[in-house]
């Protein structure tokens, strides 16, 4: 039986602690809307991340959308955005009519290259905001990116959807941006089944985001509207799952790190390297990935297909935004060739599920090794 059990990239891991909060919501009939779990989850996340204000939302994408609105992005405005990422980092810019200019990656973290960002500001001095991701849980070169944004007086939106719990120089990711975004989608390091959070030290900003997220209802006895609103709030039941999950975040991180370390030592000597990080960073190791050496003849898709035949889930790296048909007319700024395209071409994501057993991990490792 165990031989046919599917091995996942990253699937939800429930602890049981979630039920206490869900049951409380049911017992008090606060299943919706909002309620104590939502208020407490916001406080607990703010405390964990080290940011003073937070608003719980229906998804990370909703949080990104509200961050783009807070950055005052209007029709035709240029926003400088990480190129190597999931489309949800970039799409909310279009929701507000903004125009993405994609910024290439560097090889040390696979994230936004500060040098390319600097170059982009020279070409687009009018840029309105920056959206920078911490890919696969690895912090970007956040100090440099933060400095460049400050120098140009534009807000930084930090897409920490994949990096909850990761630190850079001892500080939590999501706290570097003027606005920080988290996701609790099913495959993330903790999950609420679906949900997101927007954090900021700017109290006014979070009040505005909360207002937009609840249909922009003005404080009148009747439904009075001056602005366009959205139905973006998290339900009290969902927030209960989040509170239970948050108690286990550090445990999830420790298990993800073991998975990464195990791959790393098992693959030493092969013509490939693990997704790298800076010595000032401690990633949450959400996904373990490998990059084949340039000279290597093994192809990521061959390995992915071979693992697939063995009921093991592996995936290509996120396809860069500048290679997406949707964004074919957007500009792409790079200073070192096409780094994100190279990582896409030569990389893959390995199973990083924290429920993976020792023998399952050994099976994955043996199958990968057999390609070299």
Ligand X SMILES: *Cc1c(COP(=O)(O)O)cnc(C)c1O
Dihedral (CA of 27, 29, 32, 36) sign = negative
Q: CA separation (Å) from 114 to 13, 78, 106, 121, 314?
A: 35, 17, 8, 11, 30
Candidate ranges 5-13, 28-36, 157-165, 266-274; the one touching ligand X (CB under 6 A) = 157-165
C-beta of 30 vs 185, nearer to ligand X: 185
At its nearest, how many Å lie between ligand X and the CB of residue 220? 31
C-beta of 190 vs 312, nearer to ligand X: 190
Q: Which of 37, 109, 185, 281 binds ligand X (CB under 6 A)?
A: 185
Site for ligand X in 217-236 (CB under 6 A): none
At its nearest, how many Å lie between ligand X and the CB of residue 357? 26
Contact call for residue 41 and ligand X (CB under 6 A) = no
Q: Which of 161, 237, 259, 303 binds ligand X (CB under 6 A)?
A: 161
Contact (CB, 8 A) for 130 and 142: no
How many binding residues for ligand X (CB under 6 A)?
Answer: 14
C-beta of 35 vs 60, nearer to ligand X: 60
Contacts of 279 by beta carbon, 8 Å cutoff, 6+ apart: none
Alpha helix stretches (DSSP H) within the chain: 17-27, 36-49, 60-70, 87-95, 114-123, 142-152, 203-213, 236-246, 249-266, 300-309, 339-346, 358-369
At its nearest, how many Å lie between ligand X and the CB of residue 183? 3
Q: How many Å apart are CA 201 and CA 17, to the nearest integer? A: 29
Q: How many Å apart are CA 217 and CA 223, to the nearest integer? A: 6
Q: Which of 70, 79, 88, 292 binds ligand X (CB under 6 A)?
A: 88
Give the number of other CB atoms < 10 A from CB of residue 11: 17
Contact call for residue 283 and ligand X (CB under 6 A) = no
Q: What are the helix and strand counts (H, E) for the chain?
A: 12, 15
Contact call for residue 159 and ligand X (CB under 6 A) = yes
Contact call for residue 89 and ligand X (CB under 6 A) = yes
Contact call for residue 86 and ligand X (CB under 6 A) = yes
Q: Which of 165, 196, 242, 351 binds ligand X (CB under 6 A)?
A: 196
Contact (CB, 8 A) for 44 and 64: no
Q: Which of 106, 113, 146, 162 binds ligand X (CB under 6 A)?
A: 162
Contact call for residue 85 and ligand X (CB under 6 A) = yes
Q: Which of 55, 68, 133, 348 binds ligand X (CB under 6 A)?
A: 133
Candidate ranges 31-39, 159-167, 226-234, 342-350; the one touching ligand X (CB under 6 A) = 159-167
| Of residues 68, 238, 76, the one with CA closest to residue 159 | 68
> What does the DSSP assignment read for 198-241?
EEES-HHHHHHHHHHHBTT--SSSS---SS---B-BPPHHHHHH
Candidate ranges 39-47, 82-90, 264-272, 301-309; the one touching ligand X (CB under 6 A) = 82-90
Which residue in the shown chain puts its C-beta closest to ligand X?
Answer: 60
What is the radius of gyration, based on Cα positions, of the chain?
21
Contact call for residue 55 and ligand X (CB under 6 A) = no
Give the number of other CB atoms < 10 A from CB of residue 172: 20
Residues that bind ligand X (CB under 6 A): 59-61, 85-86, 88-89, 133, 159, 161-162, 183, 185, 196
């Amino acid at each position: 039986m165990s031989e046919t059990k599917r091995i996942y990239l990253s699937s939800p891991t429930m602890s049981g602690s979630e039920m206490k909060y869900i049951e409380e919501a049911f017992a008090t009939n606060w299943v919706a809307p909002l309620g104590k779990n939502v208020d407490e989850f916001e406080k607990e996340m703010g405390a964990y991340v080290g940011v003073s204000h937070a608003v719980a939302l229906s998804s990370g994408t909703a949080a990104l959308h509200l961050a783009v609105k807070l950055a005052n992005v209007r029709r035709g405005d240029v926003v400088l955005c990480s190129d190597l990422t999931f489309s949800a980092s970039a799409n909310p810019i279009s929701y507000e009519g903004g125009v993405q200019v994609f910024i290439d990656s560097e090889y040390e973290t696979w994230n936004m290259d500060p040098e390319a960002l600097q170059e982009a500001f020279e070409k687009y001095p009018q840029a309105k905001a920056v959206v920078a991701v911490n890919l696969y849980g690895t912090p970007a070169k956040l100090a440099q990116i933060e400095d460049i944004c400050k120098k140009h007086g534009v807000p930084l939106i930090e897409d920490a959807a994949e990096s909850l719990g990761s630190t850079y120089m001892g500080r939590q990711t999501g706290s570097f941006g003027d606005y920080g975004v988290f996701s609790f989608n099913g495959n993330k390091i903790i999950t609420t089944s679906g949900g997101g959070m927007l954090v900021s030290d700017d109290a006014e900003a979070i009040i505005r985001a909360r207002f937009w997220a609840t249909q922009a209802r003005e404080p009148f006895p009747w439904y009075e509207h001056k602005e366009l609103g959205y139905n973006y709030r998290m339900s009290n039941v969902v927030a209960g799952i989040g509170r239970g999950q948050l108690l286990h975040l550090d445990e999830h991180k420790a298990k993800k790190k073991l998975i990464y370390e195990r791959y790393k030592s098992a693959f030493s000597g092969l013509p490939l390297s693990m997704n790298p990080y800076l010595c000032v960073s401690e990633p949450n190791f959400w996904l373990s990935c490998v990059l084949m050496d340039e000279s290597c003849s093994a192809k990521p898709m061959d390995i992915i297909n071979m693992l697939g035949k063995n009921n093991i889930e592996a995936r290509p790296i996120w396809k860069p935004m500048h290679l997406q048909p949707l964004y074919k007319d957007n500009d792409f700024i790079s200073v070192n060739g096409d780094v994100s395209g190279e990582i896409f071409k030569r990389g893959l994501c390995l199973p990083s599920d924290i429920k993976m057993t020792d023998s399952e991990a050994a099976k994955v490792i043996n199958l990968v090794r057999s390609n070299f």
